[in-house]
Amino acid sequence: MDAKIKDLIEQAQDRYLKSDELDLLDGYVKSLPERLTLYKLLRDREIEILQKVADRAEIELSKTDTADIESGIKNLILVMRYCAMGMLLNDENFLKQRLLRWLEQIMALKEMRQINDVLYKLLNQILRQELSTHQLSLIQPLITTAQVTLIY
Amino acid sequence: MISVADLLQDNQIPANYYGYDAYIKGDLELGLLESRRGDRLIAVPDTLIQALYEGLEQETGQASRLVLFNCGKWWGKNFYTRFSEEISDYYGKPLAELDMILFLQCLKECWLTHGWGRIEFDPTYQNQGFLMIKTYQSPYSKKLAKPRPSCFMEAGILTSFFSRLTGRDLLAIQISCESMGSDCNRFVIALEDRLAIVDSSIEEGLDYESIMTSLLS
């Protein structure tokens, strides 16, 4: 749940919510079926999507140690799982606080930048083929946040 | 060829074990705050730490430092055990096989999530055989009647922790302290006989840079 809705819940002890505040909640609830559909799609096709990334990454990063690419893929699996949950909850902070702060520090020390650069480029290409425009608009902002945090 | 299915064999990919949201659990109905593994945690009020310092100072005078240091050592021994069990269970390998970056990152997150402030490892003097640990916003940094570094319990916990980790008898001595206006608390860790001069340097009121210079000369 995004921060605005969390704030509204905190208001419960003081007052009833105003109509426009309830609209915010209503909007989120109405978007849930789509979010759930996308979540299930990402869950059920996790291996298939990431295998495509891995196959292409091996070609593009032919000079890189396979163990390093594997480590990058593992982190990408994690990022996708947290992105999917963040999308379901409509909460970017879930991804930032629980995962990115941690990965950022590990990656910075390991110099994974070049590998991540390729992996995220490939992931974005593949998701563009696999998801509808609307689905993409739900998950893309989270992936971009991860990409920006881990690469730049 | 990389197989994602193989990478996901046990389905769980370890991330941040000590993430605050995931680590601190509680059954408040039972009156318990617990770690994610079910070990009991308690929140200690700052005033209790202050009271410990003052009470011990009053009852035992100068010996209070040693008492607090020894409490820290005892705590560190158990902390090491808990830390290494948690980490080896979670990552599926013994602490000794964990890569250095991951190990340090786990220690930092563990420290942070327990509310002990930030901890950093400073490798500057590593090649000369001295480990330097820095802590920030330590709850144990308290202004003493006669100004001197005051994180005695932290020095104790670091002494035990790094002795156990390395399998050698190391000693941690604090050489700068937030309570004296320093930017952080610095602890120099080495074999005991290499730190023989540090105590008298602290009594003389030398700063950490001078102490390090004399240790290295």
The per-residue pLDDT for range A15-73, each reduced to its tens digit, is 998 898 889 889 999 999 999 999 999 999 999 999 999 999 999 999 989 999 999 99
Instruction: Assess A138–B contact: CB distance below 8 Å, yes or no.
Output: no
pLDDT band at B129 (very low <50, low <70, confident <90, very high): very high
Chosen from B11, B16, B91 to mutate, greatest number of chain A CBs within 10 A: B16
**Helix or strand holding residue B121 (H, E):** strand B118-122
- B170 phi and psi, to 5 degrees? -100, 165
Residue at B129: amino acid letter: G
- What is the structure's pLDDT at A113? 86
**Three-class secondary structure of residue B21 per DSSP:** helix
- Maximum Cα interatomic distance, chain B, rounded to a whole number of Å: 69
In whole angstroms, give the CA distance from residue A59 to residue A56. Answer: 5
Q: Measuring CA to CA, how many Å separate A44 from each of A38, A138, A145?
A: 10, 17, 23
For residue A113, the distance in angstroms to the closest alpha carbon of chain B comes to 16
- A58: which chain B residues are within 8 Å (Cβ-Cβ)? 1-2
Average pLDDT of the segment spanning B103-120? 94
Q: How many domains does chain A have?
A: 1
Domain boundaries defined on chain B:
45-113+120-216
Say whether A105 and B105 touch across the interface (CB within 8 A): yes
Q: Dihedral sign, CA of B30, B35, B41, B45?
A: negative
- B22: which chain A residues are within 8 Å (Cβ-Cβ)? 98
Q: Which residue range forms the structural domain that includes residue A87?
A: 3-151
The per-residue pLDDT for range B2-41, each reduced to its tens digit, is 899 988 887 778 889 999 888 999 887 888 899 999 889 9
Give the residue from chain B lying closest to A98, CA to CA.
B19
Instruction: Assess A99–B contact: CB distance below 8 Å, yes or no.
Output: yes
- Of A94, A146, A151, A144, the residue nearest A118 (C-alpha): A151
Say whether B2 and A47 touch across the interface (CB within 8 A): no
What strands, in cross-sheet order, belong to the sheet with B40-41?
A: B24-27, B32-35, B40-41
Range with the poorest average pLDDT among A1-10, B80-89, B105-114, B205-214: A1-10
Instruction: Assess A62–B contact: CB distance below 8 Å, yes or no.
Output: no
In whole angstroms, give the CA distance from residue B36 to residue B21. Answer: 10
- What is the structure's pLDDT at B119? 96
pLDDT band at B52 (very low <50, low <70, confident <90, very high): very high
Q: Measuring CA to CA, how many Å separate B126 from each of A73, B79, B129, B166, B189?
A: 33, 24, 5, 14, 10
In whole angstroms, give the CA distance from residue B183 to residue B119. Answer: 13
Q: Specify the pTM.
A: 0.88
Euclidean distance between the first and the last CA atom of chain A, given in angstroms as a whole number? 27
Contact B197, B214 (CB under 8 A): yes
Residue/partner pairs of A101-104 with CB below 8 Å, 24 or more apart: A101/B16, A102/B15, A102/B16, A102/B19, A102/B105, A102/B109, A103/A75, A103/A78, A103/A79, A103/A149, A103/A150, A103/B15, A104/A149, A104/A150
- What is the structure's pLDDT at B75? 95
- What is the structure's pLDDT at A110? 67
In whole angstroms, give the CA distance from residue A89 to residue A29. Answer: 10
Q: Read off the CATH number of the domain in which A83 is found.
A: 1.10.490.20
In whole angstroms, give the CA distance from residue A13 to residue B87. Answer: 41
pLDDT band at B80 (very low <50, low <70, confident <90, very high): very high
**Among candidates A70, A106, A109 on the partner chain, residue whose Cβ is nearest the Cβ of B7:** A70
The ipTM of this complex is 0.82
- Of B23, B56, B53, the residue nearest B37 (C-alpha): B23
CATH architecture of B45-113+120-216: 2-Layer Sandwich (3.30)
Residue at A36: amino acid letter: L
